[in-house]
């Protein structure tokens, strides 16, 4: 079982790069990144309801009233992450923001494993795990500084935004751990995923309404959806796969390994997306430092997983 979750986690991470491309098209079609994400989480929840029905686990919804309420709120992390992305991309830049997200994910994962909180099995911090985590963090830094112009986005005046980026990354493994608790309660992964995306939908609706009321953001338009390429709808499938894979993988291979593998998969896929301009995204020159950063990140993940 453990060996199975290694390629699954890598694949789930790679799908995040696909989701980014799909969400870009959906954002263009609706004129709103928040509206696009809201649509995605609604579709993802629908797909998981169908999966629960097909697998005969849909009756697990009846167990929800007996579950501690906070075991069902993992989906809030999606809204925190998306809202932070919208705030941070224009202040820190996409590459810097993603690098800080990775740092937050790995630090939170290490903490969850070390202290055994939120139902995560406690794991002794082996030297190889510490070195592997450090390698992932150094690799993430190399990816950031290997992208032309990224270093200029970091400054002492942006400390608050930098901390927000790290926090936004940290909520993702916490979401996986909380969803893992819900799975232990009801034993139906597709139902757990549905609940997570239902909460995410409500959270995103709140974010959307607040944005429309308090800012001058344009209202979403749905007319452009008919002209959007078919793969613009793939984000929901990618998101559902990622969330379900993470909370099922964490109890088996540990939080640091599960998150590290998804980060590695995402970065490998992103190299191809940037190099060849897949999903109608602009082609980007990839520096040797960025290649080295991805290689170091992979070595770090291998150390965490193997030792």
Mean pLDDT of 87-91: 76
pLDDT above 80: residue 194: yes
pLDDT in the model for residue 154: 61
pLDDT tens for each residue of 293-303: 888 888 888 88
What is the pTM (predicted TM-score) of this model? 0.86
pLDDT in the model for residue 155: 66
Lowest mean pLDDT among 149-153, 173-177, 184-188, 215-219: 149-153
Higher per-residue pLDDT: 223 or 93: 223
pLDDT in the model for residue 152: 60
pLDDT tens for each residue of 121-176: 887 777 878 888 888 888 888 887 776 666 566 666 678 888 998 999 899 999 99
pLDDT tens for each residue of 43-81: 999 999 999 999 999 999 999 999 999 999 999 998 888
The tokens describing 234, both together, are 């793939």
Among residues of the chain, what percentage have pLDDT more than 70?
95
- Taking the C-alpha atoms of residue 278 and residue 286, their distance in angstroms, rounded to an integer, is 14
pLDDT in the model for residue 254: 85
């Amino acid at each position: 079982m453990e060996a199975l979750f290694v390629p699954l986690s890598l694949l789930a991470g790679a799908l995040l790069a696909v989701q980014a491309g799909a969400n870009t098209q959906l954002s263009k079609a609706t004129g709103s990144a928040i509206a696009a994400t809201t649509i995605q989480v609604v579709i993802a929840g629908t797909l998981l309801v169908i999966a629960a029905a097909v697998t005969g686990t849909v009756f697990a919804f009846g167990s929800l009233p007996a579950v501690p309420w906070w075991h069902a709120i993992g989906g809030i992390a999606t809204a925190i992450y998306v809202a932070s992305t919208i705030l941070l991309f224009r202040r820190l830049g996409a590459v810097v923001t993603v690098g800080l997200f990775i740092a937050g994910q790995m630090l939170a994962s290490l903490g969850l494993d070390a202290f055994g909180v939120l139902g995560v099995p406690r794991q002794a911090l082996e030297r190889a795990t510490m070195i592997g985590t450090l390698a992932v963090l150094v690799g993430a830094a190399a990816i950031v500084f290997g992208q032309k112009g990224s270093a200029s986005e970091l400054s002492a005046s942006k400390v608050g935004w930098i901390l927000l980026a790290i926090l936004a990354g940290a909520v993702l493994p916490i979401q996986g751990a909380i969803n893992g608790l819900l799975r232990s309660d009801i034993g139906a992964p597709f139902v757990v995923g549905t609940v997570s995306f239902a909460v995410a939908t409500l959270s995103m609706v709140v974010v959307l309404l607040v944005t429309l009321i308090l800012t001058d953001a344009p209202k979403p338009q749905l007319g452009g959806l008919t002209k959007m390429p078919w793969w613009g709808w793939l984000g929901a499938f990618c998101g559902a796969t990622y969330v379900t894979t993470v909370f099922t993988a964490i109890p088996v291979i540990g939080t640091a390994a599960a998150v590290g593998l998804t980060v590695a998969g995402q970065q490998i896929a992103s190299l191809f997306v940037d190099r060849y301009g897949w999903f109608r995204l602009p082609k980007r020159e990839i520096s040797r430092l960025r290649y080295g950063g991805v290689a170091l990140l992979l070595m770090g993940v291998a150390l965490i997983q193997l030792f």
